Structure 1
């Protein structure tokens, strides 16, 4: 019988402002002829009432009405740079340390898959969990929620990352040596709570998750059990992962 604990780590990544340096949903809005969604647009305020996914569906419809093409949107996605050290972190972890990589993101499948393919990194990622999207025959990008949940008030209704993480781990036939989670946003707090003392939570410095951690502890008594590493570069995360692997 193989030793299940001898398998490599599981590395879980957010996408926007984590794998890529910026937010693809924010960047695509700049393709509007005015360089942003106009202040007069009825789309403003939609996020707070119907959620981000429906807001972005409205954005894509508005861009389509302004004759912004599929090719222009995909070209923009290709231009978005990875966060410093992130490509090296993913590639080295998979190729040298037998890590399994998954992405859990509130972006969409068209953006993430196209960027990974453009960077020739799609083969390094086991699964992408995100909002499904597809192009219509007329070049409109349609998007729908990943799921609908009401059990987790730390997450949006369309995406509870903690549930997705736990479901993925329970579906695997091997036991990971540890879990490393890399994120930046408030919706990465829920999965951070699912990590054990043996795991590693990597929080991007200067982004909203860093502010949420002490806020949730103070207001709700919620505390991350794992080691927390604050990072600016993927190389910092890779160095800590290499240390953890040596400690096993």
Structure 2
């Protein structure tokens, strides 16, 4: 009898809430990939690099920008200084601190890169509040050039880019935690962009999707029938700043 009570208590203890965030225009107010272009002469992208974006996608495009910055003499410290100028979206630090206090699991799923995100989280002191980050891996080579690679290569999701299916990552994380004995009573997804639609569609009716006002995810949700035949089951919380989400969670 005592053993059964103990087992029930243990099961209750591992019922958690998972909150998944995009990074650019969500946790931070700017787009880190766009912001770093200020290091280019005049802040302008050369025409030969612009063509890479149209032909080969965003990650290859950013790789070419990093190569050009290296050729122009930009150093790791220049990148660090640039990233440290970026500010968190209003209310986001408070939201992350609240989730951490509640012992919720907080993950980031972003099409930025690991160097930028790690730099910003460490400088801000927010890194301890993040359980795990999923993004394109980036590192400096022995010459000092920042290299970025695909997180993965996918061909199964038309709503996502070739290098990052956020819905797949979200589902895989939930399954991974389940196999480790942790289940989630609720999943909340917070984002702004069109590539945040895929994970939003993976949510259940007990979950929340939080699209930022004035950005593409909210437009896609409002016009969901034009985007996909899949239904959106999650409840929608529109937000301008982190306090909008925090207020809803505190009132539950």
**Secondary structure of the corresponding residue to residue 44 of structure 1:** helix
Mapped partners of 1:67, 1:6: distance in 2: 50
**Secondary structure of the corresponding residue to residue 108 of structure 2:** strand
The match for 1:139 among 138, 144, 150 is: 144
Partner in structure 2 of residue 148 of structure 1? 153
Give CA deviations for 1:63-85 in whole Å, capped at 9, x if unaligned: 11111111111111011000000
Q: Does 1:180 align with 2:188?
A: yes
Q: Does 1:222 align with 2:227?
A: no
Q: Does 1:22 align with 2:41?
A: no
Partner in structure 1 of residue 4 of structure 2? none
The match for 1:112 among 109, 117, 120 is: 117
Mapped partners of 2:224, 2:68: distance in 1: 36
Give CA deviations for 1:30-69 in whole Å, capped at 9, x if unaligned: 110112213xx21113223211110100010011111111
Give CA deviations for 1:108-133 in whole Å, capped at 9, x if unaligned: 00000111111111111111000000
Mapped partners of 1:219, 1:165: distance in 2: 20
1:4–1:175: 8 Å Cα contact kept in structure 2? no
Q: Does 1:170 align with 2:149?
A: no
Partner in structure 2 of residue 78 of structure 1? 84
How much does 1:214 deviate?
3.0
**Secondary structure of the corresponding residue to residue 89 of structure 1:** helix
Which protein is richer in helix relative to its size? 2
Mapped partners of 1:222, 1:100: distance in 2: 27
Which consecutive residues of structure 1, in runs of 5 or more, have no partner in the other structure? Answer: none
Mapped partners of 2:247, 2:169: distance in 1: 27
TM-score, structure 1 normalization:
0.93
Mapped partners of 1:129, 1:6: distance in 2: 23
Partner in structure 2 of residue 87 of structure 1? 93
**Secondary structure of the corresponding residue to residue 73 of structure 1:** helix
Give CA deviations for 1:3-43 in whole Å, capped at 9, x if unaligned: 348633101000000000000000001110112213xx211
1:5–1:176: 8 Å Cα contact kept in structure 2? no
State the superposition RMSD in angstroms: 1.3
The match for 1:208 among 190, 208, 216 is: 216
2:168–2:199: 8 Å Cα contact kept in structure 1? yes
How much does 1:242 deviate?
2.0
**Secondary structure of the corresponding residue to residue 159 of structure 2:** coil
How much does 1:166 deviate?
0.3
Mapped partners of 1:199, 1:47: distance in 2: 35
1:64–1:140: 8 Å Cα contact kept in structure 2? yes
1:213–1:223: 8 Å Cα contact kept in structure 2? no
Mapped partners of 2:233, 2:54: distance in 1: 31
Mapped partners of 2:228, 2:143: distance in 1: 48
Partner in structure 1 of residue 127 of structure 2? 122
**Secondary structure of the corresponding residue to residue 151 of structure 1:** coil
Q: State the number of aligned residues.
A: 241
The match for 1:68 among 63, 71, 74 is: 74
